[in-house]
Structure 1
Amino acid sequence: MNKTKSKPLGLTAKILLGMAIGIIFGLLLRNMFPANEIVKEYITDGFLHVIGTIFISSLKMLVVPLVFISLVCGTCSLSEPSKLGRLGSKTIGFYLFTTVIALSFAIMAAVVIQPGNASLTSTENLQYVAKEAPSLSEVIINIIPTNPIEAMTQGNMLQIIIFAVIFGFAIAHIGERGKRVAQLFDDLNEVIMRVVTLVMQLAPYGVAALMAKLALTLGLDTFGSVIKYFLVVLVMLLFHGLVVYPVLLKLFSGLNPLLFIRKMRDVQLFAFSTASSNATLPITMEATEHRLGVDNKISSFVLPLGATINMDGTAIMQGVATVFIAQVFGIELTITDYFMVVITATLASIGTAGVPGVGLIMLAMVLNQVGLPVEGIALIIGVDRLLDMVRTAVNVTGDSVAAVIVAKSEGELNLDIYNDSQAGKVALSFDEQVHRPL
């Protein structure tokens, strides 16, 4: 009798299992020990917080070196200034185009469905102290780093991107010495991608801890009168991620969008569990290059830029939230107001950092622009954590779609890898990953 060797679980299955175990564990503790201080202190704020934070920190640890090294590698391979300009215009143009689409659909859905109802919600005693959002002029000025090292220590992604592009461009134009430096960065890029592979092994445990803590801390009563708002934003996020992006991918590249969605499951789960585009960036880059076949010189330029300026999920939230708050307070918005919401939210998405919860800060800027009370943010803050997780998954999906489309247009997409459903699939054991030869 032949014994078939059991197939090891893939990364997606492990992450899904970790999510399920975490949610079940959190709900069991919540129901068995409600409002228990020991559970809160030693499990929720203790063990689970430590494990979840270590996982997030291990991802964030890679962001700055990965972005800088990858972007230098990508830029120094683009010796022609015209190609760099062409890449930039295509990438930024696509990101702005999808953001406008996301906002337009979100506002139309909110106007038609009308999730805000003043009769359901009391607007008295609403309090939300918003941090001051940067103005457009400050965003533009702050793009250029005065101190690149300081930008790296503070994780200022736009400044890091600008410096890396300039640095890589200089390497490409100093002849033989530049080739030696470029080879060094290529080797460093291989090292950092191997570190990404190792960190990915921690994902199921980190995700389990994050989900358990979320199940323990999120109150079901927070939905209340904002259930319609929650559902409208959720449906629009799913529509944008599962309909709009696949349609654009098919339209601009002719590739199979269903294959793309299947290959992006790991990245979407990472993004959902971390609620941070920046923390997910190492995983996004690894999957885009090895599973989708995008050349490193394209992915290293498009993806870091997308993690910084492509916030379609955040834009959808801001569009629906603006209409919702206006309806709750009984304030009529004009066509001009809606137009200003689209313009302001698009610019706000460019200045939105890829970290959890920052979308609410930028929403304050959008509300001020159309004269709506910022206090209305207090209505939606209770459910924003869940929506933040979903919109982050949408954001990283959009980044990868842009990378594939741009790579296809530049002839830098490996179609054999893209069409191979098993390409780059992580199913090796930890020991095999560590000892696999470079």
Structure 2
Amino acid sequence: MKVLQFLRHKALLISTIIAVVLGIVAGIMCRSLKPTPDAIQLVQFPGELFLRMLKMLMLPLIAASIITGLGNMKGSSAGRMGVLSMVYYASTSVAATLVGLALVLSIKPGSYSDSATTHIQHNDAMASAIDIILDLMRNIVPDNLVAATVQHSRTETVVHEVEFRDDVNSSSGGDYRKSTNLSRHFTAKKTVMVDGANVIGVITYCIVFGVTLNQLGCRGGVVAQFFTIINLVTFKMITLVMWYSPVGILFLITGQIISTTDLTETGQTLAIYIATEMAGLAIHLLVVLPGLYCVLTRKNPYAIYLKAIQALITALATSSSAATLPVTMQCVEQRMKMDTRISRFILPVGATVNMDGGAVFAAIAPMFIAQYNGISLTFGDVIIIRDRFRTTVNVASDCLVVGVVSHYTKLSPSDTSETQGEPLREEQEMLENDLV
């Protein structure tokens, strides 16, 4: 009887794990069939639908969660959470960078090529540091909030070719002049709008909105109730999507394995590079992050991982922290029983700014290129595998930071001095009764 009860409560998690295993097996078996691009597209389509569902729910979830979270706490509590989370994010990013540097300097993955060439090809133009900073500031303050839901700003360098005529005197010394058509290239920078939601801009607006709503006190109760209901409806929709997730994850993993280039064809050097980065991600995920969490909270970090495994698997399949956010929030609030006012502030921000996996990559990749002597390097094959594990590390770190901030930020659910506490408690009861 207990076994049946366990299977019933863990049906979604068990089916997701089975889907991962079946996806890997099916992908390996189908590779030998050498499927056409059309066949691969059809295999990936159910997974693509799952990813689109998650992205569809991401923005309403971010808006409703941050506004209801900040609208139901004191301003000092919000400030304390913000400082703690930013310090934690910065600390883990520094630690991730040090792990990456230590591995790349000890393993030296770029020194295993026998080729004499030292030319490295990289097709992507690198933006300057000032461009990146300015783009970040532009996206933090979007000029059109509606457009920010589908587009973000990016600085691009444009090359203009200007033709002109150069007249020179003839060598005979007469009045005859010879004309030559010449051209010059001039570069200019311009800010353009590119596809992709400006998540950080939406988060900034929602944070300011939530804090302002909090300051209105009881007068903002109607608006707080409105966003509470939006949040509740979104969570119900997430529950429906989650029961489709095993199917989506199965086909996502199968399609990615089928479409991945055979890594044995990329040579020994690239394989060692992948192994180095995977080792860095594993050390950060299994040693550094748990160690930091244990020191700060004196609690078992791996219990957090077990309760967040649904989110970690989804991150592995989708390769997007933002798309995984609905699942992460569900795991944190319903399985870990974390305070919703904390999770709804920390998780949306973390999905945007917390990039521990990216820090490991940022430390290893430049050193690898510096060490590299051999074939022309393209990162296409690496990105397919590496990005997914980086996203898993990011999501794991997001879950742990909620635990750390919750440990150091005590919020009393029954505190009647907070502005709109009643709607939030009402929503929490509905979630526990309807969704768990």
Per the normalisation by structure 2, the TM-score is 0.78
2:148 equivalent in structure 1? 151
Q: Which deviates the most, 184-193 or 20-29?
A: 20-29
Q: What percent identity do the matched residue pairs reach?
A: 30
User: How many residues matched?
Assistant: 366
Q: Which deviates the most, 10-19 or 56-65?
A: 10-19
1:44 to 37, 40, 47: 40
Contact 2:304 2:399 in 1 (8 A): no
**CA offsets 1:198-255 (integer angstroms, 9 cap, x no match):** 1111111111111111121112235522111111110110111111111111111111
CA gap 1:226/1:269 in 2 versus in 1, 3 angstroms:
same
1:381 equivalent in structure 2? 380
1:116 to 80, 93, 110: 110
- Shift in Å at residue 30 of structure 1? 2.0
Contact 1:26 1:215 in 2 (8 A): yes
Residue identity opposite 1:142 in structure 2: N
Which structure would you say has the larger Rg?
A: 2
2:58 to 56, 60, 63: 63
2:154 equivalent in structure 1? none
Structure holding more strand per residue: 2
**CA offsets 1:367-426 (integer angstroms, 9 cap, x no match):** xxxxxxxx97x3443122111111100000001111110011102499xxxxxxxxxxxx
Taking the aligned partners of 1:405 and 1:123, their CA distance within structure 2 comes to 49
Contact 2:256 2:384 in 1 (8 A): no
2:23 equivalent in structure 1? 22
2:235 equivalent in structure 1? 193
1:204 equivalent in structure 2? 246
Taking the aligned partners of 2:335 and 2:3, their CA distance within structure 1 comes to 27
CA gap 1:175/1:56 in 2 versus in 1, 3 angstroms:
same
2:123 equivalent in structure 1? 129
- Shift in Å at residue 5 of structure 1? 5.2
Taking the aligned partners of 1:406 and 1:114, their CA distance within structure 2 comes to 37
Contact 2:325 2:351 in 1 (8 A): yes
Helix, strand or coil at the partner of 2:78: helix
**CA offsets 1:297-319 (integer angstroms, 9 cap, x no match):** 11111111111111010110121
Contact 2:120 2:369 in 1 (8 A): no
Q: Does 1:291 find its partner at 2:335?
A: yes
Q: Does 1:138 find its partner at 2:135?
A: yes
- Shift in Å at residue 196 of structure 1? 1.1
Task: Tell me the C-alpha RMSD between the 2 structures.
Answer: 2.6
Taking the aligned partners of 1:235 and 1:151, their CA distance within structure 2 comes to 37
Residue identity opposite 2:68 in structure 1: C
Taking the aligned partners of 1:228 and 1:201, their CA distance within structure 2 comes to 38
1:94 equivalent in structure 2? 88
CA gap 1:145/1:124 in 2 versus in 1, 3 angstroms:
same
Helix, strand or coil at the partner of 2:410: coil
Taking the aligned partners of 1:75 and 1:299, their CA distance within structure 2 comes to 10
CA gap 1:63/1:125 in 2 versus in 1, 3 angstroms:
same
Q: Which runs of 5+ in 1 are unaligned?
A: 331-374, 415-432
Contact 1:48 1:213 in 2 (8 A): yes
- Shift in Å at residue 260 of structure 1? 1.4
Residue identity opposite 1:106 in structure 2: G
Q: Which deviates the most, 47-56 or 4-13?
A: 4-13
Contact 2:239 2:435 in 1 (8 A): no
Helix, strand or coil at the partner of 2:150: helix
Contact 2:81 2:405 in 1 (8 A): yes
Helix, strand or coil at the partner of 2:73: coil
1:175 to 213, 217, 220: 217
Residue identity opposite 1:70 in structure 2: S
2:204 to 135, 150, 162: 162
Taking the aligned partners of 1:171 and 1:161, their CA distance within structure 2 comes to 15
Superposition map of 1:257-276 within 5 A: 257-276=301-320
**CA offsets 1:345-373 (integer angstroms, 9 cap, x no match):** xxxxxxxxxxxxxxxxxxxxxxxxxxxxx
Q: Which deviates the most, 140-149 or 281-290?
A: 140-149
Contact 2:71 2:214 in 1 (8 A): yes
Residue identity opposite 2:329 in structure 1: M
Contact 1:294 1:412 in 2 (8 A): no
Taking the aligned partners of 2:229 and 2:138, their CA distance within structure 1 comes to 34
Contact 2:333 2:339 in 1 (8 A): yes
**CA offsets 1:91-147 (integer angstroms, 9 cap, x no match):** 111101110110011111111111111643565775432155442133123311222
Residue identity opposite 1:398 in structure 2: S
2:280 equivalent in structure 1? 236
Helix, strand or coil at the partner of 1:383: helix
1:349 equivalent in structure 2? none
Residue identity opposite 2:388 in structure 1: M
Helix, strand or coil at the partner of 1:146: coil
Per the normalisation by structure 1, the TM-score is 0.78
CA gap 1:240/1:127 in 2 versus in 1, 3 angstroms:
same
Contact 1:106 1:319 in 2 (8 A): yes
Residue identity opposite 2:238 in structure 1: V
CA gap 1:78/1:138 in 2 versus in 1, 3 angstroms:
same
Helix, strand or coil at the partner of 1:272: helix
Contact 2:71 2:211 in 1 (8 A): yes
- Shift in Å at residue 152 of structure 1? 2.0
Taking the aligned partners of 2:435 and 2:285, their CA distance within structure 1 comes to 36
CA gap 1:201/1:4 in 2 versus in 1, 3 angstroms:
closer
